[in-house]
A and B are shown apart, each in its own frame.
Chain A
Amino acid sequence: MSKSDSRAETAARIRHLLDTEGDAVAENTRGFNRGRYESTGELGDYESLKSEARAIKEDAIERLPELIDDLRESVEARGGHLYVADDAADANEYVREVVDGGNVVKSKSMTTEELDLNEALEADGARVTETDLGEWVIQLAEEDPSHIIGPAIHKSREGIAELFNERFDPEEPLETAEELTAFAREKLLEDVREADVGVTGANFLTADSGTMALVTSEGNARKTAVVPDTHVAVSGVEKVIPTIEDLAPFVELIARSGTGQDITSYVSLFTPPVASPPVDFSDPDSAVADPGRVAGDGATEPHPDREFHLVLVDNGRLDMREDDDLRETLYCIRCGACSNSCGNFQSVGGHAFGGETYSGGIATGWEAGIEGLDTAAEFNDLCTGCSRCVPACPVEIDIPWINTVVRDRINRSGDPGDLDFLVDGLTPDEEPAGLDPTKRLFGNFETLARLGSATAPLSNWGAGLGPVRAAMDRWLGIAPERDLPTFERETLVDWFAARGGPRVSESMARREAVVYPDVYTNHVAVDRGRAAVRTLEALGVRVRVPESAAAASGRAPLSQGMVETAREKAERCRDALLPEIDAGRDVVVIEPSDLAAFEREYERLLPADDAERVADGCYEVLEYVFGLLENGADPGGLAAGDGEPVAYHAHCQQRTLDLEAHTVAVLERLGYEVTTSETECCGMAGSFGYKSQYYELSMDVGEPLVEQFGDADRVLASGTSCGEQLDALLGSPAEHPIEAIAPADG
């Protein structure tokens, strides 16, 4: 299939999901996400709990073989069995022998989805029933989970009612959520009563005691574990942590991060085989326990009728443990925060943004490690690197980095294409032949921009012509609906030089700074660069915009997974900026995605010391203004708001750096009345929204901004691509906040 056909197919699949499942997914995930903000906001020590959880997981994965030995000792000391399965077939074979064609009730377990355990057991004639209500809906509908913690969030109440009514034909058709729940409870209770074996997952396993934690709300996992006399728990090897005490931060974080509850109804800490007597419904009139027992009797002793098997699944995980870039995936506690905080996921859900089993941002790591690059390649593009999942992750996984690395590996695994000649001449990059031409084009935006400015306005006229756009769509996958950037003939650097250099004398200067001429500001959005220079000068800063600093940050290739090209750019940019920093000049950055590269990704691309020096020397432009005002600079020369209402959408990566508040504070101090957006990401995410196959998704992700900002008279946005997106969504251009506050040009 040609690349353009394959893009059309991707677009059609996404369009179908937007139409059929998008509304239910959006409502549920956005609700979970709002809940996360509220419930984590109640935790005074949220950040330190996350760091503690992270440290526990780092330590546990580091010591995993030793911990598995300890866990085995704990489980076997109570008469339980522990089996480490190499792969899915091995795990299924073990469980099949235990189940032996009997009746199985299950509580929700993504790991058993990964194994396709149900199919394996059913092949032996076993009756397998999912008892988690969402998972049961999926089982009845013969669909796949659309979310790792809410498997049926893509289904509406009406859709579930229709499914139940068709399948079971109840006397009175079911309608309300209460009726559906009551019906399911009764129906599933019959299966629980007849079960020979209960199969559960495990959220955590503590090596010191052999205890498994199950985090649930419905109570089905308790029934699954307590009613049948045989319990099989299936879990990835990565779930083992050292001690009971290590559970504390996870118990406080997991539900808040996932559904936004402070805690789920039940956190079961079972140390199997448990003390509870099995409930034998085939003998309904004999007492469950030995008569005369009181609370607490025999609480530490395994019940003699119980059998317990713990199946720890490797299936690629131990190799991930050895992989410096995928290892972090194993810290994942499967809370779903990276799905709920993701703009793209909120629109399409896990049926698009997911692989064989796992979905959401972290799924790229899981699927690459367990299934392989081909599976990860099917959805990896949907991570735009916006980084909103980073502060949401309770174990501080750098999920965008995992996506970037996997994208790089996918790029390198591609067949050399027949279209490389189209862009090869333009793109002196470090990437292999066969890289997707769209990625190569966007990854080399710096080269394009230099050429664009040099040949403007010719370059702009050519790019606007209908036949040119059709060809760009067909051959390069650039959405014809999008306005292309208009290159300025006079770059910011040229303008500054022509103006005669710095205007604040050294003796009068409060600070000395370099306004970083990022590719966009230098070649396209020159006005905001000029506004930054005027603003800083009005606040007493001696500003320079040297040609030598006009080195791309590497953000563009990084977002396409072109890691080596990004590294080469980062080295050049470091060489450009460090002399300025060493000379005592602050580097002021206008484009948040470039600042995020300096602050977040350079530590992956450069020696640690260099990365730290660059990060320490750079400031977001409004953060810098905020600092100047806090230190007594006189805002009198800036454009005051006088109560003017403005609608402000901060850039996603800027929010992750915690730099939204500075812009809001400056605007408010100058008298603007600021409304901030509630949307995680505008949907454009750099180049993502320009790609033909993702244009519609991108616009759908931005839709909440239309609802919130549709009536605003003046809209501000910190990111270039956010501004483009707001323009497309709202029909009027957005300005950078620095343009709002800058003194008039003159």
Chain B
Amino acid sequence: MTADTLSTFVDAVERHHASVHRVAPDEATSTIADLVDAPAVGVPLPDAWGIDLPDTVGTDPTPADLDAAATGVTAGSLAVADYGTVVLESDAAGSEAVSLFPERHVVVVRTEDVVPGMREAIGRLGDRLRDGASAVLATGPSATADMGELVIGAHGPREVDVVLVESAGGGESVAGDGDPATGGATDE
């Protein structure tokens, strides 16, 4: 991940009708808080990230909470600069449903997990999926052209905000060709 890769990522996300908010680690929680519409549900971010969800985001949602939520907050385990894609891993905590049902999805991604192209992303996912993981390559909000013209917001979220958390070392790479394990979730 280089500065170029990150700016490519930001441009690509915006091209796909979503927004990026680049923040330092200690600003992440307040940025998320600013972005969520109530009521909000979320899945706590991996412990190793050291980022808390704001208090306004409820965790351990019920089906009724999912139905009522205006915002869902989840982690993105990997991102693809060329496409503005965020990788949403399925887990036992219910990240898949939380990222899918509410009108707005706020997804938190670390700069060190942004890879330049689709091939690198699939390369990193190979072993992970062979281990049994599932992941959605999500690019922008849900959309349909089936009703006579393009409509943003179909069965999934209508708005997507990517909170891009800078690596501790700053904008330039600390994990440019880093350990694939950082791309995944944390419970192995």
Residues of A near any B CB (own CB < 8 A): 28, 78, 131-134, 137, 150-152, 155-158, 160, 177-178, 180-182, 184-185, 188-189, 193, 206, 208-209, 211, 217-220, 222-223, 226-227, 243-245, 247-248, 251-252, 259, 262-272, 274-277, 279-281, 283-303
Contact = CB atoms under 8 A, between A and B. Distances in A.
A292 to B, nearest CB: 7
A78 B132 contact: yes
Nearest to A282: B63
Contacts of A132: 146
Given A157-B148, A244-B126, A300-B188, A295 B155 contact: no
A315 B121 CA distance: 35
Interface residues of B, number: 67
A271 B94 contact: no
B154 A276 contact: no
A227 B101 CA distance: 11
Nearest to A246: B122
Interface string B108-145: 00000000001100110110111111111111111111
A182 B138 CA distance: 21
Max chain B Cβ within 10 angstroms of own Cβ: one of A156, A184, A259: A184
Contacts of B64: 284-285
B95 A295 contact: yes
A288 B184 contact: no
Interface string B144-163: 11111111011111000000
Max chain B Cβ within 10 angstroms of own Cβ: one of A248, A269, A296: A296
B130 A218 contact: no
B61 interface: yes
23 contacts: A152-B146, A177-B150, A178-B151, A181-B147, A185-B154, A218-B142, A222-B96, A227-B97, A245-B122, A265-B141, A266-B156, A275-B91, A277-B97, A284-B63, A289-B60, A289-B94, A291-B60, A294-B44, A295-B43, A295-B44, A295-B185, A299-B134, A299-B185
Contacts of B118: 248, 251-252
Nearest to A296: B185
Contacts of A247: 122
Interface stretch (B27-35, B82-90, B164-172): B82-90
A296 B132 CA distance: 12
A244 B140 CA distance: 23
Contacts of B154: 133, 181, 185, 217-220
B178 interface: no
Given A251-B118, A263-B85, A300 B132 contact: yes
- Which 3 residue pairs are nearest across A and B when measured between Cβ atoms? A296-B185, A157-B148, A219-B156
A340 B47 CA distance: 48
A317 to B, nearest CB: 26
A300 B62 contact: no
B137 A217 contact: no
A298 B91 CA distance: 6
B147 A217 contact: no
B185 A218 contact: no
A307 B115 CA distance: 34
A264 B141 CA distance: 10
B122 A286 contact: no
Contacts of B148: 155-158, 160, 177, 180
B43 A287 contact: no
Contact of B134 (A211, A245, A277, A285): A211
Contacts of A211: 129, 134
A10 B126 CA distance: 51
Contact of A150 (B133, B140, B145): B145
A266 B142 contact: yes
A200 to B, nearest CB: 13
A229 to B, nearest CB: 13
B63 A244 contact: no
Nearest to A134: B146
A326 to B, nearest CB: 30
B100 interface: yes
Max chain B Cβ within 10 angstroms of own Cβ: one of A132, A245, A267, A274: A267
A548 B132 CA distance: 68
Contacts of B90: 226, 270, 274-276, 299
Contacts of B91: 275-276, 293, 295-299
Tell me the interface secondary structure of chain A in the complex.
Answer: loop
A269 B155 CA distance: 18
Given A247-B122, A265-B143, A271-B129, A188 B155 contact: yes
Contacts of A297: 91-93, 185, 187
B129 to A, nearest CB: 5
Contact of A299 (B133, B136, B146, B151): B133
Given A274-B134, A296-B46, A265 B142 contact: yes
A223 B100 contact: yes
Given A262-B83, A274-B134, A291-B60, A223 B155 contact: yes
A133 B94 contact: no
Contact of A288 (B62, B130, B155, B187): B62
Contacts of B43: 293-295
Contacts of A218: 142-144, 146, 154-156
Given A133-B147, A296-B93, 5 more contacts: A188-B155, A279-B63, A287-B62, A296-B89, A300-B132
A271 B134 contact: yes
Contacts of A265: 138-143, 156
A539 B148 CA distance: 55
Contacts of A272: 134
A129 to B, nearest CB: 12
B86 to A, nearest CB: 11
Nearest to A284: B64
Contacts of B106: none
Nearest to B44: A294
Contacts of A275: 90-92, 132-134
B126 A276 contact: no
Given A265-B141, A294-B45, A303-B92, A131 B132 contact: no
B62 A285 contact: yes
Interface string B57-76: 00011111011000000110
Contacts of B136: 222, 266-269
Nearest to B92: A298
A284 B135 CA distance: 26
Nearest to A42: B82
Nearest to A208: B130
Contacts of B119: 248
B186 interface: yes
